[in-house]
Amino acid sequence: MLGEVSKILAKSSMAIAFTGAGISAESGIPTFRGKDGLWRKYRAEELATPEAFKRDPKLVWEFYKWRIKKILEAKPNPAHIALAELEKMGIIKAVITQNVDDLHREAGSKNVIELHGNIFRVKCTSCSYREYLKESDRIGWLLSQELPRCPKCGSLLRPDVVWFGEALPEKELTTAFSLAKKADVVLVVGTSGVVYPAAYIPYIVKESGGIVVEINIEPSAITPIADFFLRGKAGEVLPKLVEEIRRISK
């Protein structure tokens, strides 16, 4: 099956990747729904919400600072690197991710569409202030704050991520849907496919006549529509695909 998928990818003119927390699991970042997904006694769904932030911003910031520290320790794994390679080879045109960990960019992917924001960005709860802390070199500053405040207006800052119950960034969602309509192949990697509207992506590809290739350690909500299901760890399957595509493209 890997051979067949490699041939399809080598011939494709507009492949995209759609990734979820599972692609970063081998980098040591727990998924939300996996058995390591708990923080203290809380489930992420209880903390990553606007209501939780309103109720107890200190607790929510504590959770996010913990996540930022964990993610800072993580490095892109062979799966992120393989997707960046596929982009360099001209096969993948974009990576649409539900992850907030920035690891696709760290791995060298250039066209990354973040549907759920980025944990290294903050935004003001009152004014239009936004900051990408990696660029401004202020991650250390953020981690030293109990309740970080906007440098412009003094209001509370919040993580620039999409919380449960919130709308996705319009520009990113429109771009992602339009890429999905045009894609002839989508590689669906490490997602349970239950978080909407992001999970529409593989359905849009399928309905537009594209091929759905799924890589996951276990079946997901997407599996019933997958044309190919490559069962295994993303960090093992994706490098094999790249190797095979290189071999047949020589």
Which structure tokens are listed for 195?
A: 């978080």
Question: What is the Cα–Cα distance from 125 to 234, expressed in whole angstroms?
Answer: 37
Question: What is the Cα–Cα distance from 20 to 83, expressed in whole angstroms?
Answer: 13
Residue 65 touches ligand NAD, criterion: CB under 6 A: no
Q: How far is the CB of 223 from ligand NAD (least distance, A)?
A: 9
Question: What is the Cα–Cα distance from 92 to 78, expressed in whole angstroms?
Answer: 16
Q: What share of the chain is helix, strand, coil (3-state, %, to 5)?
A: 45, 20, 35
Residue 20 touches ligand NAD, criterion: CB under 6 A: yes
Computed over its alpha carbons, how large is the radius of gyration of the chain? 18
Residue 33 touches ligand NAD, criterion: CB under 6 A: yes
The smaller minimum CB distance to ligand NAD, of residues 61 and 163, is found at 163
CB 117 within 8 A of CB 160: yes
Residue 195 touches ligand NAD, criterion: CB under 6 A: yes
Residue 238 touches ligand NAD, criterion: CB under 6 A: no
116 is catalytic: yes
Residue 70 touches ligand NAD, criterion: CB under 6 A: no
CB atoms within 10 A of CB 62: 15
Using the contact rule CB under 6 A, the part of the chain among 4-12, 55-63, 131-139, 216-224 near ligand NAD is 216-224
Binding mask 111-140 for ligand NAD (x = CB under 6 A): -----x------------------------
Question: What is the Cα–Cα distance from 156 to 154, expressed in whole angstroms?
Answer: 7
Question: What is the Cα–Cα distance from 162 to 48, expressed in whole angstroms?
Answer: 8
CB 67 within 8 A of CB 96: no
Question: What is the Cα–Cα distance from 142 to 157, expressed in whole angstroms?
Answer: 10
Q: How far is the CB of 151 from ligand NAD (least distance, A)?
A: 26
The smaller minimum CB distance to ligand NAD, of residues 36 and 154, is found at 36
CB 191 within 8 A of CB 200: no
Residue 26 touches ligand NAD, criterion: CB under 6 A: yes
Residue 233 touches ligand NAD, criterion: CB under 6 A: yes
Q: Which of 116, 121, 158, 233 is catalytic?
A: 116
The smaller minimum CB distance to ligand NAD, of residues 21 and 91, is found at 21
Residue 225 touches ligand NAD, criterion: CB under 6 A: no
Which structure tokens are listed for 213?
A: 């290739």
The smaller minimum CB distance to ligand NAD, of residues 87 and 101, is found at 101
Q: In this chain, which of 2, 8, 10, 32 binds ligand NAD, going by CB under 6 A? A: 32
Catalytic sites, residue numbers? 116
| Binding interface with ligand NAD (CB under 6 A) | 20-22, 24-26, 29, 31-34, 98-101, 116, 190-192, 195, 215-218, 220, 233-234
